[in-house]
Structure 1
Amino acid sequence: MVTVQLFEENAMKAVQHVQMSVLTSPSPLIISAASVQYTGVLVGNFIVGYAADRFGRRFVLLVTLLLGIPELFLGGIINNLPVYYILRFAVGMSVAGTMSVGWTYCSEMISPKHRFKLRTVTSYSLGRVFMVGLAHAAGEWRLASFLYGGVCIFTLLLLLFLPESIIWLKRKGYTERAKNAQKKLDLINGAKSEDTEIGPRIAKNVPLLDVIRDAKLRVGFFVLCVMWFFGAFCEYSIDLNGDDMSKNLWTGQYLSGALASIIRLSFGIADGYFPWLGRRKVFIIGMSVCTAASGILVLLLYLGHKGTTLYLVVYLTAYNSIALIWEPNFVCAAELMPTDVRATTTAFLGIISRVSIIIASTMVSERKMIM
């Protein structure tokens, strides 16, 4: 499960870092290719959440991977800019499925006790190091796009061996399928399969509006909306300005991803030893450190210290602290929302985050055009 989630979230998403100079370069076009891809993610989130709650997590994941993989290969072949934008939009729709539904699927296959730890292992930061390494080895973005497509094929093959979410099958009343899925998981894990009685628990159709009407769920849902919107806006505003954080592009990207991975893994391990830490405190710590570091970054830019070692250290502090908040964001989305609408609410939160990302990418592109 860790391997599947790692590649699902990062294989296609990391293309933006390889093509950073293309995505943010001055152009007569009003919107950048990054914004087109984020728009595709936004549109995709309107579809994948409902589809996953109705037709199954694994099925929707397979469909979205089959949608995105050909576009990655085609994106490395074509030379027509409008067609390239269409392909980026399609990749964005695929990313919506692999991110929103992918985490819902994995969270339902992982016990709550180990959910936070495994989320830190499957984070975007760890995948970013791997993808930057592929881009560095490829040497040019077209070959890198082919390599990413190959990684996604590997993910697709892994997903074919895994069963549908047992929790989703139980809630939908598919008793026999749930038994078969459990036996398949036991076989994969090398555990002895036991014949346990799985009673029918057919879930009633719970629309998203019912979450808003329920007093307890409403508070948690609106808090998640705020966490996802500002978390995404801050992270991508910092991230998309990171191509020139150091004099060497590769050094900056490796450092950024590696440090974020180490910090996330450290908090994941600490979660098992310090129960008092919790999701809320991790979010507050990450956001507070990012706010302070961002203020220092503004001061350093004003004083003309961009490109210095001090600027790089402060930038990495800001990025790594804001990247940390996605663990509590995703885990809380899985734990606070009921199974019946878990994929739908996660997709809706994805929509909110994509709106903020589009705003952030547009602002960054306009700033670079001016500069």
Structure 2
Amino acid sequence: IFQWDLVCENRWISFTITTVQMTGALIGAFGIGYAGDRFGRRISLYTIQFLHLIFVAVSAFSNSWQLFAAMRFGIGMVGGATVVVSFPASIEFVGKRWRALLGAYPVWSVAAPFLALVTYLFPNWRHFEFFICVVNIPVLFGFFIAPESIRWLTVKGRIEEASKVAYLIAKRNKQPPPNTAILERIAEEERSRNSNFSSYTFIDLLRGKRMALITIRVWYTWFTSAVVYWCLVLGVQNMSGNFYLNFFLVSIIEIPASLLVLLWINRKNFGRRWSVASANIVVTLGALGAITASLTESSKAYYVNICVMISKFASTSGWSSMTPFTAELYPTVVRNLGFGCAGTVSRVGGIFASQVMSLGGYLPYVIICILMAIDTCSILTLPETRGEALPDTFIDINKNSKLEDKYVVNGDGVNMIDVPQKSKEHK
């Protein structure tokens, strides 16, 4: 700020740089959705990690705020892209009981305190950028270790490569070589709909009544979740008491909120839908409490803090549940597209949240209640995915039969490919 005199009449520049970075994140989330499904999970993920290293390195040597802003756009773009491509790639390698864990692990909440420590140890922003570069280098070596998704290779008709990955996983888990004949069966199913294994587009997310309804409801949920989450974060400045303590508490509460969702998200009578819906209900109750407390005398202002903490806890829990739920709703052929679009919509929600908070008083909490009430009804109409195998093609999405895990490569039942089995009523 002081190096480029970003104060007084130039103060707008610092806010512009932040906006530029957020715009980059939005574009990155949107673009990587297509790239992940077109070029593969592995190449897309490590390409953006390499670009991240380049952008950060150039940023460290920036000699003007214009160049710095351009690099922040790039950093925001690869940051938004990383979140979108990494999660779908991860769940395609694990079985049903582990997918919820990947969504609930509080990566951001655990990393945030370390970020504060690093900035304390490296107060010079250039030194901080150099540190990020050094940390990023080992990540790139993962390209030579992590295999491509078997699911993606299969639906692209690359059976030989998919078989090699399956054999490699079996070998590393000290299991006998798996029967990969099922891969050709899945590829043939995709070939029957898409003879050239050509890439799908964003239009395909809205093609067909069932797929379109899933997509629209997912988009609304991610938009609403982002609005609520960022309203609660931005609202910290309006809470009574010490700002830094409030911000710390609102941030640290995400860790237990993310982990505790594991207690019920895999339960038979709860699942993904009710995990998100119940979290929405708690958010709504917390917002109602904040409205009531806001209308009382200022001596009761700490009640607002309590209600906001409750809503933040539930909001994080709901989002942790919605992350695996979203990836499980889409077939492999468009999973990255679907997840990428959801991430893009959430960025729009984050932008909208700042406008909601500008209303001031209790009005933001009123809007939160309305959004959450609609979202709760919407979520409960989505198909439950708990205990269901991941769909690979659009044919799987439109089938009334149940997908059963058939292809396992270790004793824990970590499945790689799922095949349809007729339900009892079809026998």
TM-score class, shorter-chain normalisation, is 0.7 to 0.9
Q: Identify if the C-alpha distance between structure 1 residues 228 and 183 changes in structure 2 by more than 3 Å, giving closer, same or farther.
A: same
Equivalent position amino acid for 1:192 in 2: Q
- 1:68 corresponds to which of 41, 48, 52: 52
Q: Matches of 1:83 and 1:209 in 2, distance apart?
A: 35
Shift in Å, 1:82: 2.2
Q: Matches of 1:153 and 1:244 in 2, distance apart?
A: 40
Matched, 1:168 2:161: no
Matched, 1:191 2:184: no
Moved more, 304-313 or 164-173: 304-313
**1:1-12 aligned within 5 A:** none
Q: Identify if the C-alpha distance between structure 1 residues 306 and 46 changes in structure 2 by more than 3 Å, giving closer, same or farther.
A: farther
Determine if contact 1:237/1:360 at 8 Å carries over to the other structure.
Answer: yes
Matched, 1:294 2:287: yes
Shift in Å, 1:277: 1.7
- 1:256 corresponds to which of 246, 250, 256: 250
Q: Matches of 1:140 and 1:315 in 2, distance apart?
A: 34
**1:1-80 aligned within 5 A:** 27-29=11-13, 32-78=16-62, 80=64
Q: Identify if the C-alpha distance between structure 1 residues 282 and 359 changes in structure 2 by more than 3 Å, giving closer, same or farther.
A: same
Q: Matches of 2:279 and 2:222 in 1, distance apart?
A: 13
Moved more, 327-336 or 77-86: 77-86
Q: How big is each residue's C-alpha offset from its partner over 1:145-204, in whole Å with a ceiling of 9 and x where there is no partner?
A: 44444443343333541101111011111122112222333455x433514224431532
Secondary structure class of the residue paired with 1:164: coil
Shift in Å, 1:76: 4.5
Equivalent position amino acid for 1:120 in 2: A
Moved more, 42-51 or 136-145: 136-145
**1:1-371 aligned within 5 A:** 27-29=11-13, 32-78=16-62, 80-139=64-123, 142-188=126-172, 190-198=173-181, 199-200=183-184, 201=187, 203=190, 204=194, 205=198, 206-242=200-236, 247=242, 249=244, 251-272=245-266, 274-297=267-290, 310-361=303-354
Equivalent position amino acid for 1:99 in 2: V
Under a length normalisation based on structure 2, what TM-score does the superposition of the two structures give? 0.70
Shift in Å, 1:237: 2.3
Moved more, 178-187 or 318-327: 178-187
* Higher Cα Rg, which structure: 2
Structure 2 unmatched ranges of 5 or more: 1-5, 361-427
Shift in Å, 1:30: 9.7
Shift in Å, 1:51: 1.2
Secondary structure class of the residue paired with 2:269: coil
Number of paired residues?
341
Q: How big is each residue's C-alpha offset from its partner over 1:193-230, in whole Å with a ceiling of 9 and x where there is no partner?
A: 51422443153244433332312222211110110111
Shift in Å, 1:323: 1.6
Q: Identify if the C-alpha distance between structure 1 residues 143 and 290 changes in structure 2 by more than 3 Å, giving closer, same or farther.
A: farther
Q: Identify if the C-alpha distance between structure 1 residues 141 and 233 changes in structure 2 by more than 3 Å, giving closer, same or farther.
A: farther
Structure 1 unmatched ranges of 5 or more: 1-21
Shift in Å, 1:144: 4.2
Shift in Å, 1:252: 4.1
Under a length normalisation based on structure 1, what TM-score does the superposition of the two structures give? 0.79
Q: Matches of 1:233 and 1:136 in 2, distance apart?
A: 31
Moved more, 208-217 or 163-172: 208-217
Determine if contact 2:48/2:82 at 8 Å carries over to the other structure.
Answer: yes
Q: Identify if the C-alpha distance between structure 1 residues 195 and 291 changes in structure 2 by more than 3 Å, giving closer, same or farther.
A: closer
Q: Matches of 2:66 and 2:357 in 1, distance apart?
A: 21
Name whichever structure is richer in helix by fraction.
Answer: 1
- Aligned CA RMSD, in angstroms, stands at 3.3
